[in-house]
Amino acid sequence: MRSSNSSVSKGHRGRPGYSREDIIRAAVREFTNHGYEATSMGRVAKNLGITKSALYHHVNSKEEILELSVKKALDALETVVERAVADESPARDRLRLLVRRSVKVLCDDPASVALLLRLRGNSEAELEAVARRRQLTRQTVAIIAQAQYEKSIRHDFNQVLLGRMVYGLVNSVADWYRVDGRFSPDEVAEAVEAMLFEGMSV
Amino acid sequence: MRSSNSSVSKGHRGRPGYSREDIIRAAVREFTNHGYEATSMGRVAKNLGITKSALYHHVNSKEEILELSVKKALDALETVVERAVADESPARDRLRLLVRRSVKVLCDDPASVALLLRLRGNSEAELEAVARRRQLTRQTVAIIAQAQYEKSIRHDFNQVLLGRMVYGLVNSVADWYRVDGRFSPDEVAEAVEAMLFEGMSV
């Protein structure tokens, strides 16, 4: 987690050695492991080996960490979906790219996406994030409906149900993917895309 | 949520009108909506329109509700997996049945399964549940490996990765399925099975 040049490049508010982004990542990992509600800022500081007041040099509150982290995940996912919406290729191709790129966003920062997926709308900021998340689903369901209309994907299931399953499988990666684990982002993205489009059967 | 004959059949400890099972279901729904940590027994009682002491006639603690609910989900899922293990048909057929039946268990009580999936091993009982959950995955991965060996499912992806995806899609149903919603359990089970084995492509 230590980034060697972070205190020079962006950690001007904090202790040398940890950038603001390092702090946020570490906190989000704690939220993932023990739950957002159950994680105190004291615990985050302790895990980083810094004092609570050093932690507050970097961030203003636990809520701020949640918001920044979720915003980052949403920004990245929205970029993916907007590209798929704007593209002019057949809907099925756009959907395949959307799936592949979304999985890569997820593998890059699974903890932030996991946090996003668990939001329940308990605050103004959470409600806004939930609304943005729903918009992603709506846009994706529209591409699915278009692909069904183009007869390039099965139409024996309702587009909303297909959308649930597409995001069900894509998002599930956030629950188990380890950035330093045995599977590369490309490998997982390829596998999820293959499962959703071709399935397991030979 | 009211079951008309529950006070006669099994509600001997409690207030007429609510069975122990009604109480547990209502509490688990609160856990799902607001998080286990954030839900107090006072809130559960208020939502049921009973006093806290009436609530404690039915159950001893919040932990007990969690344990009973998760145990019920695990018992049902284990029955499904054990049948698939014991069956003598080809591995791919057993895997299809396992998927279909697991989704039905999930649609029957999505909140309990969602609770099970979010356990982090914060207590002895949670650790035991997590161990049982892992055992389900291991047994399923063994069936997947067997189906790959029988060349009836694709073997270009590692069996562990396939296992992650099978449970990723199956379990995702717990996050969105509504018992009184627009999709029947059979419809969802069929769709999940079709996606995992044939995919969306036509």
Q: Is the pLDDT of residue B162 over 70?
A: yes
Q: How confident is the model at residue B16 (pLDDT cuts 50, 70, 90)?
A: low
Q: Residue A153 and residue B201: Cβ atoms within 8 Å?
A: yes
* Helix (H/G/I), strand (E/B), else coil: B153: strand
pLDDT at A63: 92
Domains in chain B: ranges and CATH: 6-59 (1.10.10.60), 65-197 (1.10.357.10)
**Buried b / exposed e across A94-127, counting CB within 10 Å, b at 16+?**
bbbbbbbbbbbbbbebbbbbbbbbbbeeeeebbe
Q: Residue B199 and residue A197: Cβ atoms within 8 Å?
A: yes
pLDDT at B15: 47
Q: Residue B195 and residue A195: Cβ atoms within 8 Å?
A: yes
* Helix (H/G/I), strand (E/B), else coil: A153: strand
For residues B114 and B118, give the distance between their C-alpha atoms in angstroms, rounded to a whole number. 6
Q: How confident is the model at residue B8 (pLDDT cuts 50, 70, 90)?
A: very low
Q: From first to last of its 202 residues, what are the pLDDT tens digits of chain A? A: 444 444 344 444 444 578 888 899 889 989 888 888 888 999 999 999 999 999 999 999 999 999 999 999 999 999 999 999 999 999 999 999 999 999 999 999 999 999 999 887 878 889 999 999 999 999 999 999 999 999 999 999 999 999 999 999 999 999 999 998 999 999 999 999 999 999 999 8
pLDDT tens profile B107-136: 999 999 999 998 878 788 899 999 999 999
User: Which among A173, A194, A31, A168 is positioned nearest to A104, based on CA atoms?
Assistant: A173
For residues A169 and B107, give the distance between their C-alpha atoms in angstroms, rounded to a whole number. 17
pLDDT tens profile B31-72: 888 878 888 999 999 999 999 999 999 999 999 999 999 999
Residue among B183, B196, B201 whose CB faces A200 most closely: B196
Contact present, B65 and B73 (Cβ < 8 Å): no
For residues A54 and A77, give the distance between their C-alpha atoms in angstroms, rounded to a whole number. 32
Of B186 and B39, which is predicted with more confidence? B186
User: Which among A26, A25, A81, A33 is positioned nearest to A48, based on CA atoms?
Assistant: A26
Q: Residue B197 and residue A198: Cβ atoms within 8 Å?
A: no
Query: Between residues 34 and 53 of chain A, which touch chain B (CB distance below 8 Å)?
Result: 34-35, 37-38
Query: Between residues 112 and 171 of chain A, which touch chain B (CB distance below 8 Å)?
Result: 117, 120, 122, 151-154, 156-158, 161-162, 164-165, 167-169, 171
- For chain B, give the mean pLDDT: 90
Kindly compute the dihedral angle of the four CA atoms of residues A50, A18, A79, A180, in this order, to the nearest 10 degrees. -80
Residue among A33, A152, A199 whose CB faces B197 most closely: A199
Place of tokens 């309702």: A158
Q: What number is the average pLDDT over the span B20-25?
A: 89
